Structure 1
Amino acid sequence: MVVALAADYVELRCRSAFSFLEGGSLPEELVERALELGYSSLALADRNGLYGAPRFWKSARETPLRSLVGAEVEFREGRLLLLVASRGGYRRLCRLLTLGHSRSPIKGEFQLSLADLEGETGGLLCLAGGPFSPITNDLRYGRTTQARQRARVLHRLFGKRLWIDIQRSRNLRVERRSRALTDLAEAVHLPLVASGDVAFARPESRALVDLFSSIRLGRPLAELGRDAFSNTEQCLTDPRLMAERFRDLPEALRQSREIAEQLEFRMGDLGYRFPECPVPPGASSLQYLRELTLEGATRRYGSPLSSRVQSQLQHELTIIGKLGLEGYFLIVHDIVQFCRNAEILVQGRGSAANSAVCYSLGITAVDAVGMDLLFERFLSEERGEWPDIDLDLPSGAQREKVIQYLYRRYGGSHRAPADVPQAPTVGSGVAMTANVITYRRRSALREAAKGFGLSPLQVDRISRDLGRQGLAASEGSLAERFMEAGVDLNSRRMQLLVRAVESMEGLPRHLGQHSGGMILSAGRLDEVVPLEPAAMPGRSVVQWDKEDCADLGLIKIDLLGLGMLAVLERTIPLVRETSGVDLDLARLPPDDPKTYAMIQKADTVGVFQIESRAQMATLPRLKPATFYDLVVEVALIRPGPIVGKMVHPYLNRRSGREPVRYPHPSLEPL
């Protein structure tokens, strides 16, 4: 007699909060719970995307848990759970998800049919059970013949990589579905596999997932009926309990482990490559970068170059070559050259100003050698990170021209005219970085209150003026708003509402677009990460945010739109027309007395580095009189000095109100 063993079970049907209103736990929480329960492997399969896959992989990477990748994909006929066995399968899944998102004219909707799987299932394993599969949908309405025919179609598409997964539950509907799927699998000779249809990590999250169902379906919790969870069995369950549930079907339990053993793909093996910038015939990328750098350095520093400049350039180029970053610098230089030729103001910012190569290439306007800046703050062999070069551009149409230039030059099949934004076609090698919009206190309260049956007027009154501080910290003001809305804060329902709001905070709500990050890829980016159309025409968005992209080695270039640069771009021609002065922003006098007089009075609105409230409060006290004073000012109003309580002591010592004390005499020259 075959016995069902807990060690045989691997959970293959599990979704996270990145299924957007269909799951109640973050990927990290699922990993934590799986480790507590002794799982050896766990698959994450969110709806229509790989949104949570990077975080799932990262949180499991340093643990004994094997993180398996997949997605629950919606087709017109129903949902299929597709698991990735190989890199080829991963590429096909990414393309399939991109296709489904690109077909819908409405952002967030998804359109595929089973016909889209023809010839595109290699490296993918399919679970065709679950509550919403094409087969289940037919069985639900008594269409047994159609269900069997559907199973044969799927078998033709997937062959021996197809299973019917079933769940066991105290819920009568789930048991009825499980029996029907078991009978069908026997009739068409398909193997069964056990799964849990996991929607949350721990039992206590059931109420939150019910609330998400209420929000998704637009019905109050009290009216959910069968759409609410009848128990907590869809949490990640102890494998020993799963073995008990499937003790009469030990082979279905063992199949889960055998499937997991076939899933060899790991998220750290995406096959991503940064694109190469075109170079002259016969030259390597590093040779071309060296040539451009020396030409630019001669323009910047004059000829012949001093030994100090030559030494610094050689040092930087050596490190760039060792790290294989020459293509990255060439592409950033290419973007800057496009801007110059198109008369678009552009300026590199951040630690890139510490690089003499960036200065020579015209990416930045700060003389890193003359200012004696440390290159290793920008790039070093030890850090093992890609350099971060942010480009400031005028906001609006000018920035959009640069974005569309990248799509045309590096976007593969995307070929939009220079001045006409078009939606990037499938296969593009360029896309914007996503921004995961999470529930904040106010948005969570608004959504949750609807689920608890409050009227729109009550919701408005309760959420009005609600600050970002914790609900517990502002209990008095929250109680007042509940009272104003005619709601008793002490009622059981309202206590549950407050608890629900706290549970929702920080969970993903929907996908947005990063303000300026762009991912570039050699070849099809939609084989590395699924893409979605952005709300703005001519844009596509990857399904991951900047941290996820960085964790998986995807290279981001930031094109940041600044309103003040747009103002300057309009102002420079006006100055030329009215006064005949041809302004060069890179060669403005650094010691203009009238400018410093305005700065000392905090008359700096529009000067984005020193226009914040904290900066404007500090300027009259510090009274900058030189460029270096401004460097100090900007560096002073940062999280480190503020949290470290260094701001006031510095200002007092600078003004002579407090003596300067050195921990050691050797520090005095500094």
Structure 2
Amino acid sequence: MKALCHIRVDPVRRVIRGQRGWRRYSMTDFVHLHVHSQYSLLDGAASIERLVAEAVATGQRAVALTDHGVMYGAFKFYQAAMAAGIKPVIGCEVYVAKRSRHDREAKVDDDPYHLVLLAENEQGYKNLTKLVSLGHLEGFYYRPRVDRELLAEYADGLIALSACFSGEIPTHLLAGNYAAAEEAAAWYREVFGPRNFFLELQNQGLEGQRKLNRDLAALARALDLELVATNDLHYIKREDALVHDVLLCIQTGKTINDPQRLKFPTDEFYFKTGEEMARAFSEFPQALKNTVAIAERCNFHFEVGKHHLPDYRTPPGFEDKDAYLAHLCRENLPRRYPRVTPEVEERLAYELEVIKKTGFAGYFLIVGDFVRYAKAQGIPVGPGRGSGAGSLVGYLLGITELDPLEHQLLFERFLNPERISMPDFDIDFCFERRGEVIEYVKEKYGRDHVAQIITFGTMAAKAAVRDVGRVLGFPYGEVDKIAKLISHTAGSTLEEIVQNTPALASLAREDQQVGRLLQIAKAVEGFPRHASTHAAGVVITPKPLTEYVPLARASEGEATTQFPMEDLEAIGLLKMDFLGLRTLTVLRDTIALVKASTGKEYTLATVPSGDEATYRLLCSGLTQGVFQLESSGMRRLLVQMAPERLEDLISLVALYRPGPLGSGMVEDFIKARHGEKEVTYLHPSLTEILAPTYGIILYQEQVMQICHRLGGFTLAEADLVRRAMGKKQPEVLAAMREKFVQGAQERGIPRRTAEEIFHLMEFFAGYGFNKSHSAAYALIAYWTAFFKANYPQAFMAALLTSVMGNSDKVRVYIEECRRMGIPIFPPDVNHSQERFTVEGNGIRVGLLAVKNLGSGAIQAILEEQAKAPFTSLYDFCRRVDLRAVNKRAVESLVRVGAFASTGHTRRAMLAQLEEAFELGHRYAAQLASGQLSLFGPEDDFSATPEPGGGTEEEYPPSALLNMEKEYLGVYLSGHPLEPWREKFAANRIPA
């Protein structure tokens, strides 16, 4: 939208101001009402920014957005248009089922009609969101489809246009079926009303279009309907037709040289001026005037700046939500603080007052409720994330697990009464059980009030080059060569990257085709390529969601909003982040394995603090698998710092970031910590604030404390200083600097010293980290380190389970187990469970790690394993359900050595696999037919042949290792290079 800031229109004086000042423009009254942006995915080649800019540049007072079947870009379009002084008309070109939206017959229901709908008012917008949502949730068949039933129910407040060649009425007229066309037009007239249904004329030079327009005009006269002219806009300039052609090829997987590709027949689908439209529709001047009349009637505005919180129902006996929130906090005070100090009382009263003033008591109650539910169900919840850990109310409600007073975390960093915005607790849950919490929220607030949030995969620079290169027919190797020259260190856009990469710029100049490729790639860069579901975001509304936003159906089957997260927040909806953190799943599994193997019971809340073994492990830097602390750089930093308490870990998490690492700040911190560098302060009043970080401003909270204590700012004002420093706002900072200096002087600090302190804060602002977030993640790091140090088998088994789908990670952690002296036992049908487990002093590989073995097969094996050990491959095939455990699964088990406990070689069992499987199937068939009794004689199965007792010659070790690698993803019993380890060591070559 920045690009539009310099453009302003004065429609009264009919002048436009651009970068070169005011100039007069010529305007024929016309408004584009049928428009497709980049949110008609891989079809619309008109970005919202260019669309609005072109409306401004051509003097059009309004413009509509009517993407195909979706409203993804509606709010962004609204914002851009309003910022530029253009009236936005919100609409959608919906698909209308030829029969019912519930019909899904191939070659009948896969080619729906088109219909353009525009929101005339707030009711029209709500009905439009309902129609678009139901098209996705109920009528989706290749495309989201509504039908006549839905149109009749939700027509109020909508203006309908009969659309393009694919509209119902044009389709009938083109087929010569005038009676059907008249019937359809009469139906739409009846449903929407004669003033709200228009027959749409288009003229892009298509064959049959002029006759169609005359037929539509005749129909309009017969039924007393009005005409409207549109251009079915898909791109901005005529020359953008090529870009649109390329987008369609990306969508359909075709190349631009394919004569059979989907392609628009002409290059006329661009943003035409009023004059161009007047020439195209000289026979129908009223159709042009009607575009302006319709735009004037469309007056929907998004309600921005108001919050729409769901209703949290308080129990009887409480005056309001604020009273109930205060009650819960005071009820939990003794649990958190056995001795309630005046500091605690004062902080609690202050936070409750701010929450009451800002109207967010319901928000805290909602979050506290679903976190409480999760913990009651045994679902691990993180100790906090982001600035939310600075809230004492959050701590008392159990939302966070860090004492904000002990760690000097600030509430204003989370909820600032001077700059009111929706608070935002980001909650980490066990990765595998996050869905249960979302399900609880849906049940509590209503399924039509809760949805996950859409996100878009966009075409980044490299992806755009690869896509466009394929479409233009470039050989893969050549496109790959061009793409590899693209480095995001050279710029944030492809334009900047080309300018700053001499080899790429030279190639574009010297090779015309490469230059063309890059130009088209620049045009599509940043366009959304596909929609998906945000990893964590969930929205909860007080009224049904479709009162606010349209919905879609995600590939997983769940409903998602059609507006992305930032748009939902802008219109005041409650967005929650339900984050799935695998580390919490690892901790859950570790705690279960500790109990199973030792009998000791832990919860995250009962992990002891200050454990010596834990800090010995941390100081050693042997922290593979420890949350946030396993990178090689972090491990080196651990050794250098030698942490002794949680505060040290908090500092470590804050320090290990690109800014501090590249500034010399980390080295100064470590030297000061070990007494190798003197710690100095610009003024003694800084000592208490900066002593924990050895005179360095490491945390954003320290900036706030300095402003508060030295400058006399309230903490809320201090947070505004922090924000201004982070955003580098010179005008704002100049005023704040003077206020700080004056406040410091009033407290006895010389002006020059105060100025130096403010300059110091500005310098460190670029490096300062949110201490609340650092503290929360340091605590999770400590928990994982505790279990690795004290229960290494349980921790590593849980860790290996968490990465079973990543063979590289499995290999790394198995190597770590070997370094720790923990034996790894192979999968075994008699000893393995589904996941990795503790067995004696070692770890047994879980069956889920074996290729071709699904959960159904594993459950079938474990059911029989629990009854009695398997004695052979034949016994196994006789007992397990071979419908669940197919031959590929059994072969995989044999090849990884999972039958070793039966005493037979892999070679022998592979030789007898077919026979064993066939006998197993025959046994199951006879048992099912009643020819065998479960408790009777087993016919010839009691005498089935068995392998020869394990004396058969086994495969050579190299072959066994290769089988393990193929079916487990790792070498388990050894390594192919093991025989050469000593020779490598002698020559100082890493093995």
Asked whether the two chains share a fold, i.e. TM above 0.5, the reply is yes
**Relative contact order: is structure 1 or structure 2 higher (C-alpha 8 Å, sep ≥ 6)?**
1
Aligned to 1:115: 149
Moved more, 488-497 or 352-361: 488-497
Within 2, Cα distance between the matches of 1:519 and 1:586? 29
Aligned to 2:48: 27
Change (3 A) 1:621 1:169: same
Q: Which amino acid aligns with 2:93?
A: E
Flag the structure with larger Rg: 2
Local SS of the residue matching 2:39: helix
Within 1, Cα distance between the matches of 2:633 and 2:158? 54
Contact 2:306/2:572, CA 8 A, preserved across alignment: no
One of 298, 302, 309 as aligned partner of 1:267: 302
Q: Determine what percentage of the aligned residue pairs are the same residue.
A: 32
- Verify: 1:54 aligned to 2:75, yes or no: yes
Within 2, Cα distance between the matches of 1:7 and 1:477? 44
- Verify: 1:298 aligned to 2:334, yes or no: yes
Within 2, Cα distance between the matches of 1:175 and 1:621? 80
Within 2, Cα distance between the matches of 1:180 and 1:272? 50
Change (3 A) 1:175 1:668: farther
Q: Which amino acid aligns with 1:516?
A: A
CA displacement 1:487-537 (0-9 Å, x = unmatched): x99765554333333332211011111111110112311232122222224
Within 1, Cα distance between the matches of 2:413 and 2:291? 49
Aligned to 2:939: none
Aligned to 1:186: 221
- Verify: 1:43 aligned to 2:78, yes or no: no
- Verify: 1:556 aligned to 2:592, yes or no: no
Tell me by how many angstroms 1:22 deviates.
Answer: 1.6
- Verify: 1:571 aligned to 2:571, yes or no: no
Unaligned residue ranges in structure 1 (runs of 5+): 415-427, 481-487
Tell me by how many angstroms 1:263 deviates.
Answer: 1.0
Within 2, Cα distance between the matches of 1:429 and 1:270? 20
Within 2, Cα distance between the matches of 1:550 and 1:231? 41
Tell me by how many angstroms 1:647 deviates.
Answer: 4.7
Aligned to 1:516: 536
One of 517, 522, 536 as aligned partner of 1:502: 522
Q: Which amino acid aligns with 1:533?
A: R
Local SS of the residue matching 2:92: strand
Aligned to 1:310: 345
Change (3 A) 1:202 1:550: farther
Local SS of the residue matching 2:434: helix
Change (3 A) 1:273 1:596: same
Tell me by how many angstroms 1:301 deviates.
Answer: 0.5
Q: Which amino acid aligns with 1:117?
A: L
Moved more, 236-245 or 82-91: 236-245
Within 2, Cα distance between the matches of 1:658 and 1:448? 57
Contact 1:69/1:266, CA 8 A, preserved across alignment: no
Local SS of the residue matching 1:18: coil
Tell me by how many angstroms 1:392 deviates.
Answer: 0.8
Local SS of the residue matching 2:134: helix
1:142-541 matches, cutoff 5 A: 142-159=176-193, 160-170=195-205, 174-223=209-258, 228-229=263-264, 232-268=267-303, 273-283=308-318, 284-302=320-338, 305-347=340-382, 348-396=384-432, 398-411=433-446, 414=447, 428-453=448-473, 469=488, 472=498, 492-537=512-557, 539-541=558-560
Within 2, Cα distance between the matches of 1:86 and 1:162? 15
CA displacement 1:99-131 (0-9 Å, x = unmatched): 11113576x732322332123100111111323
One of 33, 41, 52 as aligned partner of 1:12: 33
Local SS of the residue matching 1:71: strand
1:85-104 matches, cutoff 5 A: 85-103=120-138
Q: Which amino acid aligns with 1:328?
A: Y
1:599-610 matches, cutoff 5 A: 599-610=618-629
Within 1, Cα distance between the matches of 2:256 and 2:224? 41
Within 2, Cα distance between the matches of 1:492 and 1:21? 25
TM-score, normalised via structure 2 length = 0.60
Aligned to 2:617: 598
Tell me by how many angstroms 1:320 deviates.
Answer: 1.1
Q: Which amino acid aligns with 2:96?
A: F
Within 2, Cα distance between the matches of 1:315 and 1:587? 30
Change (3 A) 1:230 1:410: same
TM-score, normalised via structure 1 length = 0.87
Unaligned residue ranges in structure 2 (runs of 5+): 1-25, 99-112, 489-493, 691-991
Aligned to 1:485: none
Contact 2:172/2:180, CA 8 A, preserved across alignment: yes
Local SS of the residue matching 1:165: strand
Moved more, 650-659 or 172-181: 650-659
Q: Which amino acid aligns with 1:133?
A: G
Within 1, Cα distance between the matches of 2:231 and 2:676? 69
Within 2, Cα distance between the matches of 1:614 and 1:33? 51
Change (3 A) 1:196 1:109: closer
Local SS of the residue matching 1:101: helix
Contact 1:92/1:120, CA 8 A, preserved across alignment: yes
Q: Which amino acid aligns with 1:349?
A: R
Within 2, Cα distance between the matches of 1:279 and 1:641? 47
- Aligned residues, how many? 639
Moved more, 262-271 or 282-291: 262-271
Change (3 A) 1:595 1:377: same
Change (3 A) 1:28 1:621: farther
Moved more, 338-347 or 619-628: 619-628
Local SS of the residue matching 2:126: helix
Aligned to 2:602: 583
Aligned to 2:798: none
Tell me by how many angstroms 1:660 deviates.
Answer: 5.8
- Verify: 1:626 aligned to 2:636, yes or no: no
Within 2, Cα distance between the matches of 1:194 and 1:28? 24
Contact 1:313/1:357, CA 8 A, preserved across alignment: yes
Change (3 A) 1:42 1:16: same
Change (3 A) 1:605 1:479: farther
Q: Which amino acid aligns with 1:606?
A: G
Local SS of the residue matching 1:47: coil
Local SS of the residue matching 2:292: helix
Change (3 A) 1:654 1:176: farther
Contact 2:27/2:58, CA 8 A, preserved across alignment: no
Tell me by how many angstroms 1:281 deviates.
Answer: 1.6
Aligned to 2:107: none
Change (3 A) 1:329 1:344: same
Contact 1:564/1:606, CA 8 A, preserved across alignment: no
Within 2, Cα distance between the matches of 1:645 and 1:240? 63
Within 1, Cα distance between the matches of 2:60 and 2:660? 45
Contact 1:43/1:69, CA 8 A, preserved across alignment: yes
Within 2, Cα distance between the matches of 1:128 and 1:645? 67
Within 2, Cα distance between the matches of 1:123 and 1:645? 63
CA displacement 1:642-669 (0-9 Å, x = unmatched): 6877555555655667666766676455
Q: Which amino acid aligns with 1:529?
A: V
Within 1, Cα distance between the matches of 2:572 and 2:240? 33
1:631-650 matches, cutoff 5 A: 631-638=650-657, 641=660, 646-647=665-666, 650=669
Change (3 A) 1:62 1:490: closer
Aligned to 2:976: none
Change (3 A) 1:569 1:246: same
CA displacement 1:399-443 (0-9 Å, x = unmatched): 1211211121112xx4xxxxxxxxxxxxx1110011111113454
